[in-house]
Amino acid sequence: MLDERGENQIKKQAQGDMVVILNQFKHKRRLVKLYRYGMYAALVISCIIFTLVGLYQLDHRIPSTIYVRAGMEQSFHLNIPATGSIMDVANGGESNIPKERITIDLNRPVTMKTGALNKYSMRVFLFGFLPLKNVDIQVVENYELIPGGEPVGIYLKAKGVLVIGVGDFTDTQGTVHSPAKNLLKTGDYIQKLDGTEIQSKDDLIKRVEASQGRKIKLEILRGDAVLVKEIQPIKDQSGRYKIGVWVRDNAQGIGTMTFVDQNGRFGALGHGISDVDTSVLMDITGGSLYETKIIDVVKGHSGAPGEMTGLIVYSKDKMLGDIYENSARGVYGYLNQKGKRISKSQAMPVGFKHEIKKGPAQIICTIEDEPCMYDVEITAIHLEHDNINRGIELKVTDEELLKKTGGIVQGMSGAPIIQDGKIIGAVTHVLIQDCKKGYGIFIEHMLEH
């Protein structure tokens, strides 16, 4: 039998065990609650992310601008659960049809017929009540463009000289110097030295040497800002004064003409020309377009896109026109009389992006002597892509072109894309992992530059 002390110890032990069990139970309840709260939070966050992703995808299925031709009946089908109301922007936002009577169901094909040139704004509502996006509707002339396809040589003159790198060098005493460090940076355009414009890379080098070590003031363009930097040139081991930068003053290469309009204005490439070392879009003062002959084609394959090699003679008698703009949407300028004679194609109407459909299309490019039309398939259409140069996805299906090039090759940028007798865009990029596939820009974006 247990004495009183033993009984008390057993009771205390039991009470202690009970406290432990209760604490464990409470801890488990807290863990269950935390788990539930975590699940609820994860569910809420997932719903928010799902909603935001859905809204983002819907937003990208709606173009920011829809072009329609004056006096013509046209249809588009966005296929989204939304409605739209239209205002007449040209008349101060007033419409001759009351807003409450306008119901445009964007989940169904919409047919529009407009009169004179005008501009409208359509406000899109998701599920009929949630504001989603404003869309500009531009009524434009039914103009035509002459499709290109001819190879062209491009020469661009930079606005000043472009800094492609900042480095150091050793002086006659063996000391390492970097005068431009923390003052100039890759992507800067050096435009003036001591208030006088820099004409070329050689001009900059000569004037730095002529400073004889005197401090010089460089006026540079950095983004949209104009800055003045004071730098002291230092003599290197050869006895020449330097500031420790690598620069470039021009760019050249070959591409493909996309279109020519009735005034002789041309667009080419479908994307801008950037410096090969810095990837900075070149800011130019002008440039020239030259006649080019394709002399070789390196066939592309998976992991290694091919390229076209062209012979460019930079002489006046080979000049086709002047370039005035290098933008993300392409290279633009005006053809001279010689340039206007190079195209043998007939003018075609412009096809806007809401008119494009998946399926057969053609591209026009020059592989040998004359521009030829080759079959492709449009595999995807991105009405509102984050990258303006990738609105169209396409795949080469033409056996002859595949045999000659393997697909899309460098130098083909700018090749016009044709569908249903309309010029709808231009080739811009090739997929490195599959050179049969590539991207294109909508022609309307090239015309918006």
Catalytic residue among 271, 354, 385, 445: 271
Task: Please identify which of the residues 177, 249, 413, 445 carries the catalytic annotation.
Answer: 413
Q: Is residue 3 flagged as an active site residue?
A: no
What is the C-alpha separation between 370 and 345, in angstroms, rounded?
11
Give me the half-sphere count of Cα atoms (radius 13 Å) on the Cβ side of residue 114: 20
* Active-site pick, 249, 345, 398, 429: 398
Using only the alpha carbons of the chain, give its radius of gyration.
Answer: 32
Cα–Cα distances in angstroms (integers) from residue 45 to residues 31, 52, 58, 263, in the given order: 20, 10, 20, 56
Q: Scan for tokens 């013509």, then name that residue.
A: 72
Residue (of 222, 224, 283, 208) closest to 248 by Cα position: 283
State the DSSP string of 126-161.
Answer: ETTTEEEEEEEEEEE---EEEE---EEEEEEEEEEE
Read off the tokens for 300.
Answer: 């592309």
Give the whole-angstrom CA distance, residue 124 versus residue 132: 6
Phi (first) and psi of residue 192, to 5 degrees? -140, 150
Question: 271 an active-site residue?
Answer: yes
* Contact criterion met (CB below 8 Å) for 308 and 410: yes
Helix (H, G, I), strand (E, B) or coil at 389: helix
- C-alpha 353/C-alpha 66 separation (Å) is 8
Query: Phi and psi of 186, rounded to 5°?
Result: -55, 130
Beta carbons of 374 and 401 less than 8 angstroms apart: yes
Q: Is 413 considered catalytic here?
A: yes
- In whole angstroms, give the CA distance from residue 62 to residue 134: 9
Of the candidates 208, 218, 221, the one whose C-alpha atom is nearest the C-alpha of residue 159 is 221
Q: What's the rounded Cα separation, in Å, for the pair 268 and 141? A: 22
283 and 158 Cβ atoms separated by less than 8 Å:
yes
Q: Report the half-sphere exposure of 182 (CA within 13 A, side-chain side).
A: 1
Q: Show which residues are catalytic.
A: 271, 398, 413
